Amino acid sequence: MPFNSNWSVRGSLAALALGGMAAASPVLAEDIRVLSSFDTSQLPTYSVLQQYMNNVAEIGEGDVTFTVFGPEAVPIFEQLAPVSTGVFDALYTHPVFHAGDGGLALTVDAIDVDPIARRESGVWEYVDQFYQETHDLKMVAMMSVSMEGYHLFTKEPLSESGDLAGRKVRGTPTYFGVIEALGAEPVVLPGSEIYSALQTGIVEGAGWPAAGMVSMKHYEVANYRLRPTFGAATQPVFINLDVWNGLSAEVQDILLEAGELTELQMPWIGNAIQAEEDAKLTELDVMTVVRVAVRP
């Protein structure tokens, strides 16, 4: 602003001081519109996004905020394109929901839950580069729900042969190998439809992350959960590449630092959530654990 000779000396000095402070500490004030494949009814999985947002808020001291839109806004299998094209700024999802469009991050579900090794080995960087080049998305976090991965749960116990032969079991490609190895037929449905599909008999079992039966009330329509668990539920956060490039370096650093921190935290947070859920289901006395061994 040009110097005004009518200002008092005190006013001029104050203005200069404030201008210097503003230049040294720019206001970030970014609100990121996130499309999420999960809502709060799917609490253990949604808690990953919540932990990430909490870390962003703490690291960024509140200057970066999020507005979250759930699967009611866009169905889970159709969410990649609206973020790639910039209708939404960011995406929190599981890569199996866009497997047919090049869901490379899905392969990480077959890798041990070790966030440090995933970065040091180059896996994290390779997945990030793939999504930038293929989907115009920048990956800022690749988090695990817990160290337990996935499981199947059913309305009825295993057959006398120890399998699920002839039954229909809800799943996505994440679960196909295990479902088919047990002799069942996979049926692809959104997670939000599992309860009603079990209730009406469309399916007789379902695959889902190992925690979630309590928050989604699956125990009301399925009496058996199969063990051991398998795989590693990996949940990335992507930012539209144009949006990412338009962010200040300070905001980018906040988003990346929060991602790395959340990756380190979630296996242990998720394990605690899993233990709490297992104890709750035991307390309710509504589930029977059936141990099964399935070759990959």
For the record, the structure tokens of 184 come out as 């069942």
Number of helices followed by number of strands (H, E) in the chain: 9, 11
pLDDT tens sequence across 142-184: 999 999 999 999 999 889 888 999 999 999 988 999 999 999 9
Q: What is the pTM of this model?
A: 0.82
CA angle at 214 for the pair 213 and 216, rounded to the nearest 5°: 70
pLDDT tens sequence across 53-94: 999 999 999 999 999 999 999 999 999 999 999 999 999 999
pLDDT of residue 292: 55
280-286 mean pLDDT: 78
6-23 mean pLDDT: 36
pLDDT of residue 181: 94
C-alpha closest to that of 146 among 41, 39, 51:
51
Which residue(s) pair with 206 in the sheet? Answer: 153, 170
Question: Is cis: bond before 228, omega within 30 of 0?
Answer: yes
CA distance linking residue 246 with residue 248, whole number of Å:
7
Strand runs labelled E in 149-240: 150-154, 168-170, 185-187, 205-209, 224-227, 234-240
pLDDT of residue 291: 61
CA distance linking residue 55 with residue 101, whole number of Å:
30
Asked whether the predicted pLDDT for residue 12 surpasses 90, the reply is: no
